[in-house]
Amino acid sequence: MIDKFYSSLQAAVADIKDGSSILISGFGEAGSPVELIHALIDQGARDLTIVNNNAGNGRVGLAALIAAGRVRKIICSYPRSSGSTVFQELFRAGKIELELVPQGTLAERIRAGGAGIPAFYTPTGAGTPLAEGKEVRSFAGREYLLEYGITTDFALVKAQKADRFGNLTYNKVARNFGPIMCMAAKTTIVQVRRLMPAGSLDAEAVVTPGIFVDRLVEIPDPVVESALISQGASYP
């Protein structure tokens, strides 16, 4: 029988090793798997390379992982949100590496990685400082940059509903990077609000087919990151 559900967050993240590369879903707090990230902090893996759109807010979730000194390098598009102070301090102190990638290029690199495409050409960033060191090729008179697909050891993703096969639905714009990140990791770990009986998800409404998902944990009432931040919370 196929059953991808794990009984605890701890068990789901237990084998993440030092030096791992990890995709983490979310655009700001929407779609951020805060409980999985906190379990990763408890687990202790370090020297991590993290791919996320942002670089965390306040001192919870991704920001707490960074503050704990576990992240060697972050690949993201927008690390300058108003609450990204932890990243900004470490970056200015030279204690964390940043690879800045335009958001659409980041998304396509993840999608390509998950789809078995090693590299592709995109017009985004041509003629700007972000083109430095990249192969440039002209198609029909326009310049394009060669960008490489991203695959990682793990993905930590937040979704709405799942069945034991790993089929997923999402909630509103919390979908953002979830579907493509599920595709691009060797091991994809998803926290969901509701475990549904097998067969109860409408096959027409499944957003991520279970083939892209390895482990599921049910978190019925996930924390709201912005509420934690406004309370001044920090983790651990």
Partner 1 sequence: MSQTQTHAGLARLQIAQRVAQDLQDGAVVNLGIGMPELVANFVPKDREIRYHSENGVLGFGAIAAKGEEDPELINAGKKPITLLPGAAFFHQADSFAMIRGGHIDVCILGAMQVAENGDIANWSTGAADAIPAVGGAMDLVAGAREIWVMTDHTTREGAPKLVTRCSYPLTGKAVVRRIYSNLAVIEVGDPGFIVKELAAGVSLERLQELTDAPLHVHVSEPPREILL
Give residues in contact with partner 1 (CB under 8 A). Answer: 27-31, 53, 77-81, 84, 87-88, 91-92, 98, 100-108, 110-111, 122-130, 170-180, 207, 224-226
Integer Cα distance of 34 and 149 in angstroms: 26
Please, what is the minimum distance in Å from the beta carbon of residue 161 to partner 1? 14
**Which positions ≥6 away from 160 have C-beta within 8 Å?**
168, 169, 170, 171, 174, 192, 193, 194
Integer Cα distance of 231 and 98 in angstroms: 29
DSSP state, residue 118: -
Please, what is the minimum distance in Å from the beta carbon of residue 114 to partner 1? 9
Please, what is the minimum distance in Å from the beta carbon of residue 122 to partner 1? 7
Q: Which is nearer to partner 1, 38 or 175 (CB)?
A: 175
Please, what is the minimum distance in Å from the beta carbon of residue 57 to partner 1? 9
Q: Which is nearer to partner 1, 16 or 83 (CB)?
A: 83
Integer Cα distance of 54 and 28 in angstroms: 6
Contact 27, 54 (CB under 8 A): yes
3-state secondary structure of 138: strand
Please, what is the minimum distance in Å from the beta carbon of residue 48 to partner 1? 20
Q: Which is nearer to partner 1, 68 or 223 (CB)?
A: 223
Q: Which is nearer to partner 1, 126 or 196 (CB)?
A: 126
- Length of the chain, please? 236
Q: Which is nearer to partner 1, 45 or 155 (CB)?
A: 155
